[in-house]
Amino acid sequence: MAENQKQNYLTHPKGIMSWLLTLDHKRIGLMYLFGGIIFFFLGGVLALGMRLELAAPGNDFMSNETYNNVYTLHGAIMIFLFIIPAIPGALGNMLLPLMLGAKDVAFPRLNLASFYIYTLGALFVVYTIIAGGVDTGWTFYTPYSTTSTSNVIPMTMGIFIIGFSSILTGLNFIATIHKMRIPGLTWYKLPLFVWALYGTSLVQITATPVIAITMVLLILERLLGIGIFDPALGGDPVLYQHFFWFYSHPAVYIMILPAFGIISEIIPVHSRKKIWGYKFIAFSTLSIAFIGFLVWGHHMFTSGQSVFSQIVFSFITYFVGIPTGVKIFSWILTMYKGQVSFTPPMLYALSFLFLFTIGGLTGIFLGAVALDIHLHDTYFVVAHFHYVMQGGTIIAFLGGLHHWWPKTMGAMYNQTVASICCLGVFLGFNGTFFPQFLLGLRGMPRRYATYDPQYAELHNYSSFWSGILGLSIFIAIMNLLWSLRKSNKLDPGTNPWGAMTLEWTHTSSPPHPHNFEEEPVLEHGPYDYDKVIVEPTFKK
């Protein structure tokens, strides 16, 4: 037994094949993390390339064609290869069974399969890049995507395949959450991250099949001219937009709900305080997931859809705002009478609250039809969704990485560097994207490689700060990786934040290959800081 205690999933078993063929959810999670970070880096480089081109009005750095390829790939890679799989695939896989006290997810082989399906889809995307890129925008609007001479088919094939990976992960998580909890771990005792993953998984299995069939129809439209989306053959491009956004709007919630879950973990732990309004947060997750299916048409306010649906979509859109608002207030009130430590994860969580609130509030502007008509397809929209996707999801993802890093990797990063990077990310992010709200209000359209000189000053400003943003994220990740050096191992009993969910209290850091040496017995709820004291422990 003594030997067994030193075993952890990182070192046991050994050998490359034991990783490639592993059924261990923790290792699969790490492989997802690895893949996600690679594509995050790639997408980030593309983003910086775009900002470089946009620093001045003309074609100074890229031709139009290059720019169109770059922005398409930036969008598609960030969304399909990083944000959608990153949190459920990496952090979700890693933590979900641990939080439930289970030995693994419900279907471990399926889990490995979905990782390889993701890899296969990613290879299609990489092939697309090597073969010369694709220039349709990540939305693939017809008829441009049916007539473009760029590599639309490999790209859409890639997205089709990645869709299956997403579906299988969602399906796996749903079965896991329903059936793999230890006795006594009832729904209201689940950590909120699990609720968030549950909501996410429901959206994944419900919405993703529609993008799959949409991509198939698009490919068939190119190959056979089926005439469903192509107006030259009697089809309707607006119908394509319905199909596309029926997935892609819920996909926004696939991206943001797990971030909500991470924030719901970080804030109570680092405030050492029971979470405010547990049930409100839990059920607002599910209601956001559901309402998210009814509002896709607000992406189409200038498309020429019927006036009737404009009104209906605008109306329902506002109902997403209310549960989201409740969440934000609950997170803030969680700090009330707590003991708030300004650790790197907490700093990321506070940045999230600041940035996501801006992202959410600017969504209200876009939901008002009359105003959206002015703002649609301008930089206002670009700024809005970056505040939600990057200021929300990616900031929460970085916060989650910093929060669970000592748990999953058994090493502690330099906290001062991490905090400085968080500040850099916060400032760089606002500097990059806040000017874009102003650009949008003044009418600067999106997806422009060159622009009118009247917009130059703000673009220049945005480009400058994007450098700081990119550098900060890069150093933050390097700081994490640097902590993995051999001399930096933590004691297996480490619980640096004094967290009380099962993954912190009942297994070592890094966890045992089978998660728990014996099945955990639930002693308290996930946020019972009013009942139990868990001392933070931090030993090398």
Partner 1 sequence: MSEHHITPLKTYLVIAGALFCLTAITVWVSYFDFGSLNIIIAMGVATFKATLVALFFMHLLWDDKKNLTMFIMSLMFLGIFITITLLDTGFRGGVNPEVEYPINKRAAFYDSLPLTDTHGNPVDEHGTDSHEGDEDHH
Partner 2 sequence: MDRLTEYLFPKQVSTFAADIDNLFYFIFYSSIALFAIVVFGMVYLAIKYRFKKGDEVRLTSSKDHSNILESLFFIVPLILVSITFVWGIRSYLKMIIVPDDAIEIKVTGQSWFWTFDYPDGGTTLNELVVPSNQPIKIVLSSKDVLHSFFIPVMRTKMDCLPNRYNVMWFDAQQEGVYDIFCTEYCGTGHSQMGAKVIVMKPAQYEAWVADLGSDDEDIPLDELGAKLYTKKACNTCHTLDGSDLVGPSYLQTSQMWGEERVFDDGTSTIIDDNYIRSSILEPQTKIVAGYQGVMPTYQGLLNDRELDALIAFLKSLKEDSQI
Partner 3 sequence: MSHDNSSPDFLQHHFHDVDQQYETAKLGMWAFILTEVLTFGGLFVAYVVYRSWYPEMFVGANLLLDVNKGLLNTIVLITSSLTMVLAVWAIQQKKQKLSLFMLIATFLFAFMFLGIKYLEYSHKFEVGQLPGEYYSYMGPEIAHLNNPHIFFSIYFIMTGLHGLHVAIGMGLIAWLIYATAKGNLHSKYYTPMEMIGIFWHLVDLIWIYLFPLFYLI
What residue ranges bind partner 3 (CB under 8 A)?
Answer: 102-104, 106-108, 110, 167, 170-172, 174-175, 178-180, 205-210, 212-214, 216-217, 220-221, 224-228, 233-236, 239, 242-243, 246, 514
Which of residues 111, 172, 206, 483 is near partner 1 by CB under 8 A? 206
Binds 137, which of partner 2, partner 3, partner 1, none (CB < 5 to 8 A, cut-off by type)? partner 2
Q: How far is the CB of 309 from partner 1 (least distance, A)?
A: 4
Q: Which does 306 bind (CB under 5 to 8 A by kind): partner 2, partner 1, partner 3, none?
A: partner 1
Could you tell which of partner 2, partner 3, partner 1, none binds residue 208, using a CB distance below 5 to 8 A set by kind? partner 3
Residue selected from 362, 393, 463, 508 as contacting partner 2 according to rule CB under 8 A: 362
Per partner kind, with CB cut-offs from 5 to 8 A, the member of partner 3, partner 1, partner 2, none near residue 524 is none
Cβ 162 vs Cβ 80: under 8 Å: yes
Question: What's the rounded Cα separation, in Å, for the pair 285 and 394?
Answer: 18
* CA gap 40, 369 in Å, rounded: 34
| Nearest-approach distance from CB 376 to partner 3, in angstroms | 24
Residue 251 C-beta: closest distance to partner 1, Å: 14
CA distance 129 to 152: 11
DSSP track, 83-110: IHHIIIIIIIHHHHHHHHT-SS-S-HHH
**Does the footprint of partner 2 cover residue 280 (CB under 8 A)?**
yes
Q: Which residues contact 536 (CB under 8 A, 6 or more apart)?
A: 495, 496, 497, 498
Nearest to 351 by CA among 399, 386, 383, 401: 399
Binder of partner 1 out of 38, 48, 56, 238 (CB under 8 A): 238
Which CB sits closer to partner 1, 200 or 390? 200
Q: What angle do CA 112, 16, 87 make, to 5 degrees?
A: 40
Task: Say which amino acid occupies 173.
Answer: F
Choose from partner 1, partner 2, partner 3, none: what does 477 bind? Cβ within 5-8 Å by kind. Answer: none
- Minimum gap (Å) between residue 246 Cβ and partner 1: 6
Contact of residue 312 among partner 3, partner 2, partner 1, none (CB under 5-8 Å per partner type): partner 1
Figure out which of the listed residues 61, 293, 451, 474 binds partner 1, where binding follows CB under 8 A: 293
> Is 448 an interacting residue with respect to partner 1 (CB under 8 A)?
no
State the CB neighbour count (10 A cutoff) for residue 290.
18
Q: Is 110 in the site for partner 1 (CB under 8 A)?
A: no
Contact string (CB under 8 A) for partner 1, positions 295-334, x = contact:
-xx------xxxxxx--x----------------------
Structure tokens given for 91: 């952090």
Residues 63 and 136: their CA atoms lie apart, in Å, by: 16
Rounded to whole angstroms, how far apart are CA atoms 382 and 444? 11
Tokens representing residue 222 in the block: 């190119």
Residue 298, binding choice from partner 2, partner 1, partner 3, none, Cβ under 5 to 8 Å by partner class: none
Q: Which residues contact 2 (CB under 8 A, 6 or more apart)?
A: none
In terms of Cα–Cα distance, which of 209, 253, 242, 198 is closest to 83? 253
Residue 451 binds which of partner 2, partner 3, partner 1, none (CB < 5-8 A, kind-dependent): partner 2
**Does position 364 bind partner 2 by CB under 8 A?**
yes
Distance between CA 350 and CA 430 in Å, rounded?
Answer: 14
Say if residues 439 and 378 touch (Cβ distance below 8 Å).
yes
- Torsion-angle region of residue 499: left (phi > 0), alpha (psi -120 to 50) or beta? beta
Tell me how far CA of residue 147 lies from CA of 165, 240, 412, in angstroms: 29, 15, 52
Answer yes or no whether residue 447 interacts with partner 2 by CB under 8 A.
Answer: yes
For partner 1, which residue of 6, 12, 178, 374 counts as binding (CB under 8 A)?
Answer: 178
Buried b (16+ CB within 10 A) or exposed e, 267-282: bbbbbbbbbbbbeebb
**Separation between Cα atoms, residue 56 and residue 450, nearest integer Å:** 8
Pick one of partner 3, partner 2, partner 1, none as the site partner of residue 321 (Cβ within 5 to 8 A by kind): partner 2
Report the amino acid identity of residue 38: I
Q: Which is nearer to partner 2, 11 or 147 (CB)?
A: 147
DSSP 282-320: HHHHHHHHHHTTS-GGGG-TTTT--HHHHHHHHHHHHHH
User: Site residues for partner 2, window 249-278 (CB under 8 A)?
Assistant: 271-278
Note whether 438 binds partner 2 by CB under 8 A: yes
Binding mask 112-151 for partner 2 (x = CB under 8 A): -----------------------xxx---x-xx--xxx--
Contact present, 91 and 29 (Cβ < 8 Å): yes
In whole angstroms, what is the distance from residue 359 CA to residue 387 CA?
Answer: 5
User: Which of residues 238 and 522 has its CB atom nearest to partner 1 in the complex?
Assistant: 238
Maximal C-alpha separation, the chain? 73
Selected from 52, 113, 153, 328, the binder of partner 2 by CB under 8 A is 328
Angle (CA) 478 484 487, round 5°: 130
Among partner 2, partner 1, partner 3, none, residue 471 binds (CB under 5-8 Å by kind): none
Phi, psi of 411 (to 5 degrees): -145, 150
Is residue 225 a contact residue for partner 2 (CB under 8 A)? no
Q: Check if the beta carbon of residue 262 is closer than 8 Å to that of residue 87.
A: yes
Mark residues 337-376: x for contact with partner 1 by CB under 8 A, - for none. ----------------------------------------
Residue 233 vs 477, nearer CB to partner 3:
233
User: Out of partner 2, partner 1, partner 3, none, which partner does residue 302 contact, by CB within 5 to 8 A per kind?
Assistant: partner 2
Residues that bind partner 1 (CB under 8 A): 178, 206, 210, 227, 231-234, 236, 238-239, 242, 246, 293-294, 296-297, 304-309, 312
